[in-house]
């Protein structure tokens, strides 16, 4: 019976029959068939053909990390509260380049090993690209660690721009950004995220350099700062088209140390976060700050980019539109917000809303943008300015 169907279908199939088979009493065949072929079978084989179905794609479902090691992972995958798990798509940031401009990264840490590329050091007088502070390894772990991180398959590119003391000249950061842009533009089709968990005084030069990198198609997650004041006073937090991130506590209150204001785009977990540490290849540590909040966003950016095509603008909009609106609870903060004409609510990072087939439900737009790298010819005017860890 199957053979007679096959001979009939073959006359109308656009490609040869792929396979005929059966599972128990269920007999079926697989073919790419034209509308004419379907009509012919519908008209002439109604007694022997029960139905037609479109071949569908099956995929493994979302992965679940039970009892994640820091509450931040548990918090960002739900609209409210925690449930002792972190759900993430199977792609998990695979093939996305995440640049950690920081104090370096311990490339042999078990949470990151095999996925870390060490860029040349941009710290003057220090050719060692390894981490002698811990901050960079911690940030990389939050963003991309296998245990502690959001995007567990992302590529980590460590770009050392800050010293073992956690500070560095703004010119070094700009040179590091130049290297990132050149590397990104030399890899056609690459998708890149930069995390900047650092801060200095307001600098139009720094903000302009970041904008040029954004124009080249690079996405930025930036720490808002830990002074409890208006983030617009600082750079790179005031860079207008980056994603600037404030910090919340485990009870969804804005951390008292977190900067705020119109330059802050959204908030993410930042208090008492556990992540990888530099002191040994399996060490962990607990820290608080907007430095810890920013890499959560960098990781979520990598998740989105692994699932679809975005420009920096459309990725920013997708993450913001998918965020959770939370009412500010700590009234002291509200008074500061009100003085700046800011609403009594804030956007909380949300990594969820994955559909059953492991893809985002957010509509994505094909990426486009300039690949012209910026020229940091203004370095001489800013030598001596310092940036510091957050």
Which one from 74, 77, 109, 135 is the annotated catalytic residue? Answer: 135
357 counts as catalytic: no
Which one from 91, 130, 203, 291 is the annotated catalytic residue? Answer: 291
Q: Can you give the three-state secondary structure of the chain, one letter per residue?
A: CHHHHHHHHHCCECCCCCEEEEECCEEEEECCECHHHHHHHHHHCCCCCCCCCCCCCCCCCCEEEECCCCHHHHHHCCCCCCCCEEEECCCCCCCCEEEEEECCCCCCCCCCCCCEEECCCCCCCCCCCCCCCCHHHHHHHHHHCCCCCCCCCCEEEEEECCCCCCEEEHHHHHHHHHHHHHHHHCCCCCCEEEEECEEEECCHHHHHHHHHHHHCCCEEEEECCCCCCEHHHEECCCCCCCEEEEEECCCCCECCCCCECCCCCEEEECCCEEEECCCCCCCEEEECCHHHHHHHHHHHHHHHHHHCCCCHHHHHHHHHHCCEEEECCCHHHHHHHHHCCCCCEEEECCCCCECCCCCECCCCCCCCCCCCCCCCCCHHHCCCCEEEEC
347 counts as catalytic: no
Which one from 77, 102, 131, 230 is the annotated catalytic residue? Answer: 102
12 counts as catalytic: no
Catalytic machinery residues? 102, 135, 291
């Amino acid at each position: 019976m199957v053979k007679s169907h096959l001979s009939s279908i073959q006359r109308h199939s656009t490609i040869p029959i792929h396979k005929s088979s059966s599972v128990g009493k269920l007999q079926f065949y697989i073919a790419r068939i034209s509308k004419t072929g379907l009509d012919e079978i519908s008209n002439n084989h109604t007694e022997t053909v029960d139905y037609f179905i479109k071949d569908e794609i099956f995929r493994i479902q979302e992965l679940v990390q039970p009892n994640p090691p820091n509450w931040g992972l548990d918090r960002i995958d739900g609209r409210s509260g925690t449930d002792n798990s972190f759900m993430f798509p199977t792609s998990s940031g695979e093939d996305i380049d995440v640049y950690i401009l920081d104090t370096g990264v311990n490339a042999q840490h078990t949470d990151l090993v095999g996925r870390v590329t060490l860029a040349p050091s941009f710290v003057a007088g220090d050719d060692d690209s390894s981490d002698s502070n811990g901050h960079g390894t911690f940030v990389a772990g939050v963003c991309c660690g296998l245990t502690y991180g959001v995007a567990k398959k992302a590529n980590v590119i460590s770009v050392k721009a800050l010293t073992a003391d956690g500070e560095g000249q703004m010119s070094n950061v700009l040179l590091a950004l130049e290297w990132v842009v050149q590397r990104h533009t030399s890899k056609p089709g690459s998708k890149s995220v930069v995390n900047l968990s650092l801060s200095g005084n307001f600098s139009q030069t720094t903000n302009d350099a970041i904008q040029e990198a954004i124009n080249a198609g690079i996405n930025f997650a930036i720490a808002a700062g830990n002074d409890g004041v208006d983030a617009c006073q600082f750079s790179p937090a005031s860079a207008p088209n980056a994603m600037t991130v404030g910090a919340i506590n485990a009870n969804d209150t804005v951390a008292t140390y977190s900067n705020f204001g119109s330059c802050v785009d959204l908030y993410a977990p930042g208090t008492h976060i556990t992540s990888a540490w530099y002191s040994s290849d399996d060490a962990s540590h607990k820290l608080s700050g907007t430095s810890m909040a920013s890499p959560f966003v960098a990781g979520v950016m990598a998740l989105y980019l692994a699932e679809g095509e975005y420009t920096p603008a459309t990725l920013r909009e997708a993450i913001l539109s998918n965020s959770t609106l939370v009412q500010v609870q700590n009234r002291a903060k509200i008074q500061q917000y009100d003085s700046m004409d800011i609403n009594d609510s804030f956007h909380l990072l949300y990594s969820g809303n994955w559909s059953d087939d492991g893809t985002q439900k957010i509509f994505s737009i094909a990426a486009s943008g300039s690949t012209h790298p910026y020229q940091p010819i203004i370095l001489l005017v800013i030598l001596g300015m310092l940036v510091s860890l957050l």
